[in-house]
Amino acid sequence: MKHANISIFIPHIGCPHRCSFCDQRTISGAEKIPHGEDVREICEKALAEVKSPENTEIAFFGGSFTAIPRAYMTELLEAAASFVGEGKFKGIRLSTRPDCIDREVLTILKKYGVTSIELGAQSMSNKVLKANDRGHSAEDVEKAAKLIREYGFELGLQMMVGLYRSEMADEYETLERIIEIRPDTVRIYPVVILRGTRLGELYQSGEYDTFSFEDVTEFVADAMLRFADKGINVIKCGLHASEFVERDMLGGFYHPAFREICESHIYRRKMKELIRCESSCDYVFAVTPSCISKAIGQNKSNIKYFQELGLNIKIIGDENIPKYQVELR
C-alpha cells in the first residue's frame, strides 16, 4: 500500500543557521506559523478524508523541528499524538538538522509517537557544507543517524545536488557515504536557486555557476539506481510543483516532472545496453506496466532519441519485470 503524508510546514523556525539556499516560505508556500489548534484541525479533516490512515503519517516539514523552542515543539507533538494509534494515523514524521539530535530530544520524540526522522544532510562533503553555511559536518550526520537507529526510528536522509562549490566528485562522495549509512528513505533535491538567498546573490554576481541540467539528471539517475540496488527508497526527487518556486527561482534544476525525466534516463540506458545494431533496426522492449510512460520518456524523448539514431523502438508492459529493468523481446 502506498505511503502518504499529512504535511504541516514549520517555516524556518529554530534554525541556528541561514543556509545559502534557504527560503522556506518560498519552498513550502507557507504563510503562517501553525499552532496546536491548527494541527488538530488539519488532522481531523484529513482523518475524515484519507482512505488508508494506517499507511499515513502526520509530517512536520519545512524547518528544523527539534531546534524550535521546546514548549512549541511539544505543543505541536501533543496535538498530533492524539491522532496516532488504532483506527488513526500510522505515526508522526519530521525533518530536522543533524546537529539538533541527541538522546534527550529522541526520548521526547519517542514519547509522542514519532515514527520517522529525516535529517537534512544535503552534502557529505565538509567543504561543500562549509561553503553553504550549513553549520554542521558530515560526521554530525553519521552520528545523528546512528542515534536515530539506536532509538528505533525510521531514518530518512535528504541530499541536495549542485550546491555552491560542489563538484561532481563531491556529489558521488555524498551518494556513497549516504549508502554506507543505509537510511530507509532518501529525498533528492537538485538545487533551485531562489531570489533573496545567498545562492541567488552568488549566482547573479557570476561567482556561482551550476552543473548542466543534463549532468544533474544523469547523476540523479545514477543515484536512484544505486539506492534501488541497496533497497533504499527514494521517496522524493525534485521540489514539488509550486507557483512560489516558479515565481522566485533564478536558476538551478527545477522541473515539475523532474523525477520522471531522471527515470527516463534510467530506461534509456537500459535499452541502449540491449541494442545490438547501430542503425535501421526495430526493437521491442518490455518494462513493468507502471513505468511504460517513463520508458517512453517525457514528451516521447526516448522514442525521439532512438529515432535520431535510426532505431525504431516500441515499449510494452510485463508485470513480471522489476522496476528499472528492461527486457528485449
Residue 131 CB partners (closer than 8 Å, separation 6+): 20, 163, 164, 165, 166
Average pLDDT value for residue range 4-10: 91
Model pLDDT for residues 207-264, shown as the tens digit of each residue: 999 999 999 999 999 999 999 999 999 999 998 777 678 888 999 999 999 999 999 9
pLDDT band of 281, cuts 50, 70, 90:
confident
| Assigned fold of 4-256 | TIM Barrel (3.20.20)
Question: How far is the C-alpha of 123 from the C-alpha of 173, rounded, in Å?
Answer: 9
pLDDT at 2 over 90: no
What pLDDT does residue 245 have?
Answer: 80
What pLDDT does residue 246 have?
Answer: 81
Q: Is the pTM of this model over 0.85?
A: yes
Q: Average per-residue pLDDT in the chain? A: 93
Question: How far is the C-alpha of 187 from the C-alpha of 214, rounded, in Å?
Answer: 19
Alpha helices in the chain (DSSP H): 24-28, 36-49, 70-81, 103-111, 126-131, 138-150, 168-181, 198-205, 213-229, 243-248, 258-274, 292-296, 301-308
Domains of the chain by residue range = 4-256, 276-328
Model pLDDT for residues 17-29, shown as the tens digit of each residue: 678 988 655 444 4
Model pLDDT for residues 38-93, shown as the tens digit of each residue: 999 999 999 999 999 999 999 998 778 999 999 999 999 999 999 999 999 999 99
